[in-house]
Amino acid sequence: MSRTTAQRAPSAARTESELDHAVRELTTLGASLARSYHSLEERAQRVESELAAANRELGRKVEQLDAVTAELEAVLDALPTGVVVRDSRGRIVRVNDAALNVLGAQREQLFGSAEPLLGVAPTADGWRQHEWLREDGTRAIVARRCSSIRGGSRAAGRAQSVEILDDRTQLVELSERMHALDKLAALGDMAGGIAHELRNPMSAAKGFADLLVNKLAHDDSARQWAELIVQGVDEANAILTSMMSLASPEKLVLETIEPAELVQDAVAMARRDARIAAEDQRWSIESTVAAPSFGGDRIKLRQALRNLVANALQAQPQGGAVRVEAQQVEDTLEIRVHDAGPGIPRALSQRVLEPFFTTRAEGTGLGLALVDRIAALHGGRVRIVPDQGPLGGASIALVIPTRPNLS
């Protein structure tokens, strides 16, 4: 063996030993890495499992929250009182069905609006009562109360204040009706006594006036004057009859009524009262009937409708248009009389139903009061749209509950 070969042998041995050591180190490191990877994989699986469980729990919580929200919305809509919720910017973010009914508005009209309801900014000093005219022309008496939500978030879209709206229309109308009935009772006692005392002399005057007309049959000028006396006596008797009808409580005589016949008879009587001939083209009187027969007092309802048509004609003394519509609306019959006159001043739209109140110099103030009385006897009411009706003037509706057909 040469010296060079002898020198290389230890060096190769060291290299082999170092390689073995390096292999062992790499093997150990690989095993360690494998264990770390396995551990990380297990941790990743645990985290993934925990995240999946958290997501399931979050989904369950969201479903619960959606259910609670839906339940609260259902409760809110089931409340008979109107509820309007605003955020910190004053915008409406919640409104229930009762509030929409009270205001006569659509949800999309109110949602997101910052305008004050009822035309007046709310105050936090208890209940305030407002008169509100809905878009359909009906009047509503609304009591409102506003309060802030304590601890509520001021973030946009979060509830900050609540307005409570209570429809007190029926309560106020009942109170007004009771007041009117008390007033009517007092006036009725007086008017009934006066009418009774005047009825006999008026009947005598009517009889003598008729005799005078017959006696003056050949004297046209004198006969015309006598006919004016008869006309005046007839008008006075009509006023006395209305006063006595208002003064004395009456019972209904129920029978089956055909709406078309009722409208036709009432229009003919109103024409005759106004001395409007059928061929007179200055007035256009149309009627539309889309209602079945019903039970009611024919004579009283004919008188009420006759007064409504006469009122519409009197609003247009030089001629115009009148439309009568009879329609079944749910469980009520609505008979609406529209005219093309100047309308009724809105401030007086409810007072025209008071006995002896009139907006015309020549009026008695008994016609519409008698209509209101007849409607009340039938368990109904009179609804007034003072102006801007279908023909441009006033619209007055006689609304009565339908009764079973009596045939």
The tens-digit pLDDT sequence of the chain (407 residues) is 555 555 556 677 777 777 777 778 888 888 888 888 888 888 888 888 888 888 888 888 888 877 877 777 777 777 788 888 888 888 888 888 888 888 888 888 888 888 888 877 777 667 888 888 888 777 788 888 888 777 655 555 567 788 888 888 888 877 876 776 676 667 666 766 676 677 677 777 777 777 777 777 777 777 777 777 777 777 676 666 666 666 565 677 888 999 999 999 888 888 877 776 656 678 888 999 999 999 998 888 988 999 999 889 988 888 899 999 999 998 899 999 999 998 888 777 778 887 777 777 666 677 888 888 889 889 999 998 888 888 989 999 999 998 655 44
CB 328 within 8 A of CB 292: yes
Encoded tokens for 63: 């479903």
Distance in angstroms (rounded) separating the CA atoms of residues 247 and 185: 7
Q: Say what the pTM is.
A: 0.50
**Residues sharing a CB contact under 8 Å with residue 398, sequence separation 6 or more, in sequence order:** 301, 304, 305, 308, 334, 335, 336, 337, 371, 374, 375, 380, 382
Which superfamily, per CATH, for 250-407?
A: Histidine kinase-like ATPase, C-terminal domain (3.30.565.10)
Residue 320: strand pairing partners: 283
**Residues sharing a CB contact under 8 Å with residue 312, sequence separation 6 or more, in sequence order:** 322, 337, 338, 339, 341, 393, 394, 396
Distance in angstroms (rounded) separating the CA atoms of residues 151 and 346: 44
Q: What residue ranges do the domains of the chain occupy? A: 1-69, 79-167, 186-249, 250-407
CA distances 38 to 44, 49, 189, Å, are: 10, 16, 105
Element counts in the chain: helices (H) and strands (E): 8, 12
Of 62, 111, 92, nearest to 159 by C-alpha is 92
CB 367 within 8 A of CB 306: no
Q: Which CATH architecture has domain 79-167?
A: 2-Layer Sandwich (3.30)
